[in-house]
């Protein structure tokens, strides 16, 4: 089983690319339909202006995390954002029902993992493990 330890850099890369791709896709939806995003935000009790920073975070932060730039920062920001999404949007739908919090919770877990371990050695951040310097 020690052999799998050598795959940790690849595992972190996979987590980083998956989280980044998901956030880019969701951010693009918000950016391309910002007025609809504002309407949705106001319907769930959030200020409509919050759609702008969330869209930017998801779209640009998704690109940054795929490239391995400030991945700990963006992973933490995504985890917090998804916890808010669970609280304001998904929780009342239950865990695995349509619109439930199963998927956003998995994004929280990925974000938290990358926050704790960094994005691995394959990226453009300085230092070992990315974004905020050496581990």
Higher pLDDT, 49 or 132: 49
pLDDT at 37 over 60: yes
Q: What pLDDT digit, counting tens, does each position of 65-93 carry?
A: 999 999 999 999 999 999 999 999 999 99
Q: How far apart are the C-alpha atoms of 20 and 25, rounded to whole Å?
A: 9
Instruction: Write down the pLDDT at residue 101.
Output: 97
CB atoms within 10 A of CB 67: 16
Residue whose entry in the numeric block shows the structure tokens 């695995």? 96
Cα dist from 117 to 3, 45, 130, 131, 134, whole Å = 19, 34, 9, 11, 11
Is pTM beyond 0.85 here?
Answer: yes
Helix (H, G, I), strand (E, B) or coil at 125: coil
Question: Residue 100 to residues 43, 46, 51, 88, 135: CA-CA distances in angstroms?
Answer: 17, 19, 21, 11, 35
Q: How far is CA 29 from CA 56, 101, 132, in A?
A: 11, 19, 29
Q: Determine which of 41-45, 53-57, 69-73, 130-134 has the lowest per-residue pLDDT on average.
A: 130-134
Buried b (16+ CB within 10 A) or exposed e, 94-103: eeeeeebbee
């Amino acid at each position: 089983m020690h052999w799998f330890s050598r795959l940790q850099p690849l595992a972190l890369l996979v987590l980083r690319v998956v989280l980044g791709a998901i956030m880019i896709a969701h951010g693009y939806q918000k950016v391309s339909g910002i007025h609809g995003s504002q309407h949705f935000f106001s319907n769930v009790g959030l200020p409509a202006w919050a759609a702008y920073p969330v869209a930017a975070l998801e779209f640009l932060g998704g690109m940054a995390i795929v490239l391995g730039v400030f991945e700990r920062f963006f992973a933490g920001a995504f985890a917090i954002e998804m916890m808010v999404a669970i609280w304001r949007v998904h929780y009342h739908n239950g865990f695995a029902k349509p619109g439930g919090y199963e998927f956003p919770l998995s994004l929280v877990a990925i974000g938290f993992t990358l926050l704790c371990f960094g994005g691995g050695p394959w990226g453009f951040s300085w230092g070992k493990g990315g974004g905020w310097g050496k581990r």
